Amino acid sequence: MAGDLGTWSTDGAAATVREFVDRVTDSNGADFVEPDSRIAVFDNDGTLWCERPMQPQLDFTIRRLREMAQADRELRSRQPWRAAFDGDTDWMTQALIKHYRGDDTDMAVLMDGLSRAFGDLTVEEYQRRVHEFFSGTDHPSLGRPYRACGYTPMVELMTYLRRHGFTNYIASGGDRDFMRPVAEALYGVPPERVIGSTLGLIYRDTGDRAELLYEPVMDYFDDGPEKPVRIWSRIGRRPILSVGNSNGDIPMLAFSELDSRPALRMLILHDDLDREFDYVTGAEDALDHAGQEGWTIVSMRRDWQTIFGE
């Protein structure tokens, strides 16, 4: 029924989704997939919520780096603390863009700063800070709270898939424990189905309390070829549906296909300057792959009747 994807245009990508779901849920059809194998994976930044002019996690991290630089003058001459202290968000954004183009020089510096920013925090303290951030921080240019910057059509898609026996997972380059506190409220995805980058963890028993603390070192960065590794490690199944928006999502989308069964790979195209943003930077290779492999391109401008909810 068209109403199942009511914020999507009736044709285009929505029609592709309905046709695919109908095929894999028809128990009498050749493409039927058992419910326990109906796995859908979604990137987060730029796929489920807004990533421009900066990702929510990047804003969260910048605020912490600025606090550190204010307390320690020596940090102000070193990246990424210098950029945070000076308000140079462009350096941070360019580090991400360069990463998606294959240059990780600045990304390595940024990830080192991130690991140092939150090392030695307990998992509960980190979670508390994330909740605090989302309860009182607005997007810098959209004029709405970060918690209201999720894409309504994508939430609707995830609900539609659940109704048809799919299990949804988030597989993001973003920090796993930054997404976990809000993923269920925003997307209906419980914490145990969130896959993402993470710092190392260490167990400590003080005698009064057993704790898990973050170590000031990255455990793994869940992007590019690491995404299929982490998906398999967590789920033990290949997805049959995957959605991304950048070059870093190419391996995840490619991993969703097997010759023996149907698959749907979708790429979100940010092409709506009036309602969100218009850019392809960091997605050039993914768009080429989509054209070559027959992946479904979801145009925000054409396929979505609305972008954000109230």
User: Which residue, 53, 54, 76, is CA-closest to 65?
Assistant: 76
pTM (two decimals): 0.92
Please tell me the predicted confidence (pLDDT) of residue 1: 41
Task: Give dist(CA 116, CA 130) in Å, integer.
Answer: 17
**Cis omega (within 30 of 0) on the bond before 80?**
yes
Beta bridge partners of 8: 304
Beta strands, E only, the chain:
39-42, 167-175, 194-205, 210-220, 241-244, 264-271, 278-279, 296-299
> Are residues 49 and 151 in contact, defined by beta-carbon separation less than 8 angstroms?
yes
User: Which residue, 288, 295, 293, is CA-closest to 242?
Assistant: 295
Output Rg (C-alpha) for the chain, integer angstroms.
20
The domain locations on the chain are 2-52+149-198+220-303
Candidates 3.40.50.10420, 3.40.50.1000, 3.40.50.2020, 3.40.50.300; correct CATH number of 2-52+149-198+220-303? 3.40.50.1000
Beta strands, E only, 7-150:
39-42
> Are residues 173 and 196 in contact, defined by beta-carbon separation less than 8 angstroms?
yes
The pair of structure tokens assigned to 158 is: 């995830």
Task: Give dist(CA 229, CA 250) in Å, integer.
Answer: 13
Residue 129 CA: distances (Å) to CA of 60, 72, 191, 196, 214: 9, 21, 16, 18, 14
- Please name the residues in contact with 257: beta carbons below 8 A apart, sequence gap of 6 or more: 263, 265
pLDDT tens series, the chain, 310 aa: 445 899 999 999 999 999 999 999 999 999 999 999 999 999 999 999 999 888 899 889 889 999 999 999 999 998 999 988 988 878 877 887 787 778 888 888 888 887 788 888 999 999 999 999 999 899 988 989 999 999 999 999 999 999 999 999 999 999 999 999 999 999 999 999 999 999 999 999 988 899 999 998 889 999 999 999 999 999 999 999 999 999 999 999 999 998 889 999 999 999 999 999 999 999 999 999 999 999 999 999 999 999 998 6
